[in-house]
Amino acid sequence: MIALGIETSCDETAVAIVQDATKVLSNIVSSQVKLHSPYGGVVPEIAARHHIEVIDSLANEAIKKAGIAWNDIDIVAATYGPGLATSLIVGLNFAKAISLRLNKPFVAVNHIEAHLFSPFLNNSCVDHSDIKQPFLALVVSGGHTCLIKVNKIGDYLLLGTTVDDAAGEAFDKGAALLKLGYPGGPLIDNLAKKGRKTSIVFPKGEVSKLPKNSTLDKKLCFSFSGLKTALANYIKNNPEVLNDEEAKANLAYAFQEAIVEVLVYKTLMALKKENLSLLCIGGGVSLNSRLRSVFEKYAEEDNYRLLLASKEFCIDNAAMVAGLACLNRSVAGEESLNVDVVPDLMI
C-alpha cells in the first residue's frame, strides 16, 4: 500500500510518500523558521499563506523523489488536528481534493498519534510484529508533552500530560529569556553542551494540582511554567549573566537539565507502573541530544527497549502521517471528507 501524507499543522509544510506503513519513499519538509524568527514565534497568518504558496510544488516533488506516478497512490492522508486552524485547513483541503481527483480513500490523522508512530519509520530495528505489541509513548514537542499507553495502534490511554507549557514551549521561552533566538530548543541544546553543572538548580516540573475533572495521575503530569518563571527571576537578579558566555552556558545547562530530568523520571515511572518494556519517543524535543543520551543510558541499565524517532522524523513531517494512515484508518473513507479541522484535538 502506498500512502501520500500531508502535514501543515503549524509552520512546516510537509508532503511524504510511504509504503506499507514504515518504508519512507520520500519525505519533503519546507521549514518556515526564517519567516517567523523575526517575530520570536509562529505568526498564524504568515504560516497559512506560505503553506498555500508551496504545497502544490512540494507534492509534485514528493511524487518525483519517490519514483512513483500519481496513480500509484492508494490512500491520501492529512493532519486534521491539533494545530493552528488556518494552517490545518490548507493541508486538509489540499489532501481531500487529491483524494477526490484520484478517487482514492482519504484518511484524517491526529498529529499527536502521528508523532507517537514516528519511531517506527525507516527503522531497521523493528518489524511489523513490534508495532502490534503494547508500548509506552512519550510525545514531546512545541505543543505537546504526553505520556500515552498504546495498547495497539488506534487504542490509547493518556497517562499524563502538561498542565501548562509544553516541553518545547519551555525551551522556546527559556531561549527567548536567554536572548538566544527562535526556535529555542536547538539553541539551548547547543549552548548547554558548552556548560557544566553548577549550584544553580531549577524546579523540576512537579504538578501541585490538576485541573478540576482531570482523572489523570498527577505524578505522571508535567508543569513547566514555574521553570520559565524561575529562569526569568534568575536573570532579573543576575542580569550580568547574559553578557558572560560561560555563565550563560551554565544557565542553559541547568535549564535543560531540569526539563530532561523530569521527562526521564516520569517516563520511567510510567513504564514501571504500566509494566511495559517498549518505549517510543517522538516529537521535536526528542531531537534534544541530552534527552536522547539519558534515555539511551537508562535503556541499557533499566532493561527496556528504546525506539527514538530518527532525527528527520522528530520535527513535524508528513511521513509519520502517511505511515500511520496505512495502519489506523478509523477516520477514513467517504465520511472523512466531511471531517473539519480540530485545533484542540487530543489523543
Please report how close the Cβ of residue 229 comes to ligand KG4 at its closest, in angstroms. 18
Q: Check residue 82 for interaction with ligand KG4 (CB under 6 A).
A: no
CB of 178 closer than 8 Å to CB of 252: yes
Is there binding between residue 316 and Zn ion (CB under 5 A)? yes
CA diameter of the chain: 63
Q: Is 113 in the site for ligand KG4 (CB under 6 A)?
A: no
Determine if 172 is a binding residue for Zn ion (CB under 5 A).
Answer: no
**Taking CB within 5 to 8 Å according to partner kind, which of Zn ion, ligand KG4, none is near residue 285?**
ligand KG4
287 binds, among Zn ion, ligand KG4, none (CB under 5 to 8 A by kind): ligand KG4
In angstroms, the CA 87 to CA 7 distance is 9
Cα–Cα dist 204/222, whole Å: 9
Nine-digit cell at 282? 517522538
- Is residue 27 close enough to count as binding Zn ion by CB under 5 A? no
Asked if 184 interacts with ligand KG4 (CB under 6 A), we say yes
Binding string, 228-267, against ligand KG4, x = CB under 6 A?
----------------------------------------
Residue 81 within binding range of ligand KG4, rule CB under 6 A: no
C-alpha cell at 182: 527562535
The letter for the amino acid at 209 is: K
Amino acid identity, residue 88?
L
What CA–CA distance (Å, rounded) separates 151 from 135? 7
Residue 118 binds Zn ion (CB under 5 A): no
Cβ neighbours of residue 209 closer than 8 Å, sequence gap 6 or more: 218
CA distances from 343 to 74, 112, 196 (A): 27, 12, 40
If the CB atoms of residues 134 and 343 are measured against ligand KG4, the closer one turns out to be 343
Binding segment for ligand KG4 (CB under 6 A), chosen from 36-44, 151-159, 180-188, 265-273, is 180-188
Cβ contact 153:131 at 8 Å: yes
Residue 219 has what DSSP assignment? G
Contact (Cβ atoms closer than 8 angstroms) between residue 187 and residue 287: no
Among 81, 195, 283, 323, binds ligand KG4 (CB under 6 A): 283
Regarding 183 and contact with ligand KG4 (CB under 6 A), the answer is yes
d(CA 3, CA 77) in angstroms, rounded, equals 7
183 binds, among Zn ion, ligand KG4, none (CB under 5 to 8 A by kind): ligand KG4
Classified as helix, coil or strand, 211 is coil
For 220, which DSSP code?
Answer: G
Alpha helices in the chain (DSSP H): 33-36, 44-66, 85-102, 111-117, 128-132, 167-177, 184-193, 225-237, 245-273, 289-302, 319-327, 333-336
Site for ligand KG4 in 142-171 (CB under 6 A): 142-143, 168, 171
d(CA 22, CA 125): 12
Does the protein bind ligand KG4 through residue 119 (CB under 6 A)? no
Of 152 and 311, nearer to ligand KG4 (C-beta) is 311
Interacting positions 300-319 with ligand KG4 (CB under 6 A): 315-316
**One of 141, 223, 250, 328 touching Zn ion (CB under 5 A):** 141
Q: Which does 321 bind (CB under 5 to 8 A by kind): ligand KG4, Zn ion, none?
A: none
> How many residues make contact with ligand KG4 (CB under 6 A)?
19
**Per-residue x/- track, 21-60, ligand KG4 (CB under 6 A):** ----------------------------------------
Q: Does 141 bind ligand KG4 (CB under 6 A)?
A: yes
Cell numbers describing residue 218: 498527577
Name the residues that contact Zn ion, by CB under 5 A.
141, 316
Name the residues that contact ligand KG4, by CB under 6 A.
10, 141-143, 168, 171-172, 183-186, 189, 283-285, 287-288, 315-316
